[in-house]
Amino acid sequence: MTGVLIRHAEAILTGGRGAAARAAGPDIRVRDGRIEAIGALTPMPGEATIDARHCVVYPAWVNTHHHLFQSLLKGEPKGLNATLTPWLAATPYRFRGGFDAQRFRLAARIGLLELALSGCATVADHNYLYYPGMPFDASQILFDEADRLGLRFVLCRGGATITRQLEADLPLALRPETLDGYLRDLERLAARYHDSAPDARRRVVAAPTTALFAMPTEQLRETTQTARRLGLRLHSHLSETVNYQDAAHAQHAMTPVRYAHSVGFLGDDVWFAHLVKLDPDEIALLGATRTGIAHCPQSNGRLGSGIAPVRALEDAGAVVSIGVDGAGSNEAADMLSEAHAAWLMQRARGGQAAVALHRGGAGEAGAGDASVEDVVRWGTHGGAQVLGLGAVGKLEPGMAADIAVYALDRDPRHFGLHDVAVAPVASGGRAHLRALLVGGRTVVRDGAVPDLDMGELAAQARDAVRALQAWA
């Protein structure tokens, strides 16, 4: 692979912590898919260059929780103003039987494209669209579409062996799998796709759809044991709303995190989406076990679930990452929007808890609960950590060259900044992506994917939405 030199960057955030969160640059040399050097560098003969004047350079984002099939379910009216449980029935479960191979592929293509155009190089998709006798291989489609675009892809193989009552009267596509069927497919996927390399392009994760609702206790325990025998990580939804607390109390007489712990579903090879509703002892247990979180602030806000205590989790020792969740509960499923929300909402959470001095409190608070550097670390290096991709997620020599270059001279929202490094996160919106490199290969150039007909894709999406509406 030929070398690439990114030249004259205005600022570089590395995904590191503290003083290591920024690099002076202004140049980054990429060779053979890796970062070779960062500093004031001289072009070499034959080396391709990317002009990064008026640009900020970040590690490419790592999205640790998505449901790509929902890319055709944005703004669905019956679920638009619903909390999680009625939203599940109104939107993803109501429509999932309407996804054939063509619509599923189109949804995956749209979601992956949206992520890439925001500067995301690695996508972990929690796909739970599986049922006995399914007429197409959803897993293969997901890997194929990620390969087509040039992204790293982690399949979190969801599924359930029991159904919740809200699903019971819905279409054939909601039939539960058997445990044997689920585990056989997990082994098939691991053998075919899983790569344990620290810069893997393909990974497989065991991801029962919900730790509380997808499987009986003994089956969930067996799934965790099988995953570890296969060398796979574990993922699920947990503690997204107070309903999880009620269910865990009623079914197991313990909190959701304590229940997960009782079946071996905690540890540094585990991460959960959401973790919004946590007791202090649960935060301590998640931290002590180094369990990770995929923080999904926009979906949690959209569904009225709340704001996850990510600052407290990280302080306790948990690993924080960022996920966009499904587009059916997040109509702007890109990592820049998610990072902006994570930055604001964590501060709002701290401020909401502030107590006035005359009432015995400490006064104003919250503004320091999440810095831009924190959010970039969570969304890049933190994501790589929970996925076990040790060579991804940081800008430093030896790491994989997954790099996002954002131009700040295209939109007046970026004019007048005193610290340009914060712009892509702090200014909101979508900064213009001059280049996205994945393993040193340019996937996005000047805000576009080569040879992609955006108009045709939009037309296909409109037709698919109309077809799904007619089906429902």
Are residues 96 and 21 part of one domain? no
Q: Are residues 103 and 200 in the same domain?
A: yes
Q: Do 164 and 88 fall into the same domain? A: yes
Query: Are 248 and 109 contained in the same domain?
Result: yes
Q: For the chain, 472 residues long, give each residue's pLDDT as a single digit of tens.
A: 479 999 999 999 999 999 999 999 999 999 999 999 999 999 999 899 999 999 999 999 999 999 999 999 999 999 999 999 999 999 999 999 999 999 999 999 999 999 999 999 999 999 999 999 899 999 999 999 999 999 999 999 999 999 765 555 556 677 899 999 999 999 999 999 999 999 999 999 999 999 999 999 999 999 999 999 999 999 999 999 999 999 999 999 999 999 999 999 999 999 999 999 999 999 999 999 999 999 999 999 999 999 999 999 999 999 999 999 999 999 988 999 999 999 999 999 999 999 999 999 999 999 999 999 999 999 999 999 999 999 999 999 999 999 999 999 999 999 999 999 999 999 999 999 999 999 999 999 999 999 999 999 999 999 999 999 999 9
Contact (CB, 8 A) for 232 and 196: no
Residues 157 and 302 occupy one common structural domain: yes
Is position 470 within any domain? no
- Same domain (yes/no): 48, 85: no
What is the tally of structural domains in the chain?
2
* 415 and 282 in a common domain: no
pLDDT value of residue 169: 57
Cα–Cα nearest to 61, from 415, 458, 425, 411: 425
What's the pLDDT score for residue 42? Answer: 96
Q: Are residue 35 and residue 162 in the same domain, yes or no? A: no
Residue 77 sits in a domain of what CATH number? 3.20.20.140
HEC string for the chain = CCCEEEECCCEEECCCCHHHHEECCCEEEEECCEEEEEECCCCCCCCEEEECCCEEEEECEEEEEECHHHHHCCCCHHHCCCCHHHHHHHCHHHHHHHCCHHHHHHHHHHHHHHHHHCCEEEEEEEECCCCCCCCCCHHHHHHHHHHHHCCEEEEEECCCCCCCHHHCCCCHHHCCCCHHHHHHHHHHHHHHHCCCCCCCCEEEEECCCECCCCCCHHHHHHHHHHHHHCCCEEEEEECCCHHHHHHHHHHHCCCHHHHHHHCCCCCCCEEEEECCCCCHHHHHHHHHCCCEEEECHHHHHHCCCCCCCHHHHHHHCCEEEECCCCCCCCCCCCHHHHHHHHHHHHHHHHHHCCCCHHHCCCCCCCCCCCCHHHHHHHHHHHHHHHHCCCCCCCCCCCCECCEEEEECCCCHHHCCCCCHHHHHHHCCCCCEEEEEEECCEEEEECCECCCCCHHHHHHHHHHHHHHHHHHC
Same domain (yes/no): 410, 377: no
23 and 114 co-located in one domain: no
In this prediction, residue 104 carries a pLDDT of 98
Handedness of CA 411, 414, 420, 422 (dihedral sign): negative
Residue 196 within any structural domain of the chain: yes
On whether residue 278 sits in a domain, the answer given is yes
The answer to whether residue 74 sits within a structural domain is: yes
Last-in-domain residue among 362, 385, 408: 385
State the residue range of the domain holding 421.
Answer: 4-59+399-445
Q: Please report whether residue 454 resides in a domain.
A: no
User: Does residue 392 form part of some domain?
Assistant: no
Question: Is position 426 within any domain?
Answer: yes
One domain, residues 309 and 417: no
d(CA 394, CA 131): 38
Q: Are residues 144 and 108 in the same domain?
A: yes
CATH number of the domain at 440, please: 2.30.40.10
Domain boundary among 385, 415, 432: 385
Let me know if residue 409 belongs to a domain: yes
